[in-house]
Amino acid sequence: MTFFQLHKKTMRGLIAPSLFLIATTVMLRFVAEDLETASSMARGIAGPITWPNTMLYLVMFCAAAWLLTDLIKLSLDYREHQKFPARPRRAAATGESAEGGDLRIWVGLAIVMVYGFLIPVLGFMFSTLLFIAVWMLLGGIRRPLMISLVSVLGTTVLLYVFVKLALMPLERGLGIFDQVTLAVYRFLHLI
């Protein structure tokens, strides 16, 4: 068995994050145009880019050190596996357990993202009503009365706390959503 065949799964969990960080910081350091512009303003030994630059280099250095220690771990593990194929692999315990999560978690994350991006379009009120209902369905709650009550009452309480008491200018959405939200606000004496 080759090194790559043995560590196919482990590589993803152990090496990918450090490689990703190295690539991102290199990209940020050399692609960010504003760092170049700001570098011309430096007076003395420290200028506006001294701090972000130092941090990016430190990230690169630590990510490279992390990558190196992981590679050493994997090669020692590989050597040990060659000698004693039956012995359980130690690197596997850290790397392979770092496998992806439940599909429901990723769907949940996608719903949260969609909720956030819908707020400026539908407004806080409509997107929250919709979000609570969808989230409850995803969580396995199927009773329509419960879903309707929780989403309507929950949204109303949140509107009272944040619009009426905390005076937060929550997004009202675009076009018709803005008008309907305003009408609901008036009906609930929020404004």
Cβ neighbours for 180, distance < 8 A, ≥ 6 positions apart: 126
Q: Quick check: 13 binds other proteins (CB under 8 A)?
A: yes
Interface with other proteins (CB under 8 A), residue from 1, 23, 84, 117: 117
Q: Quick check: 32 binds other proteins (CB under 8 A)?
A: yes
CA-wise closest residue to 16 among 90, 96, 109: 96
Nearest-approach distance from CB 183 to other proteins, in angstroms: 22
Residue type, 138: L
Nearest-approach distance from CB 90 to other proteins, in angstroms: 6
Interface with other proteins (CB under 8 A), residue from 3, 9, 135, 156: 135
46: helix, strand or coil: strand
Tell how far CA 107 is from the center of its chain: 13
Residue 67: how many other CB atoms lie within 10 Å: 18
**Which residue, 66 or 182, is less far from other proteins as judged by CB?**
66
Q: Quick check: 35 binds other proteins (CB under 8 A)?
A: yes
Binders of other proteins in range 59-98 (CB under 8 A): 59, 62-63, 65-66, 69, 72-73, 76-77, 90-91, 94, 98
Q: Quick check: 23 binds other proteins (CB under 8 A)?
A: no
Residue type, 179: Q
Interface with other proteins (CB under 8 A), residue from 1, 8, 37, 174: 37
Q: How far is CA 139 from CA 28, 37, 147, 156, 183, in A?
A: 39, 50, 11, 22, 32
Binders of other proteins in range 151-180 (CB under 8 A): 154, 158, 162, 166-171
Stretch that binds other proteins, among 3-11, 111-119, 178-186 (CB under 8 A): 111-119
108/148 Cα distance (integer angstroms): 20
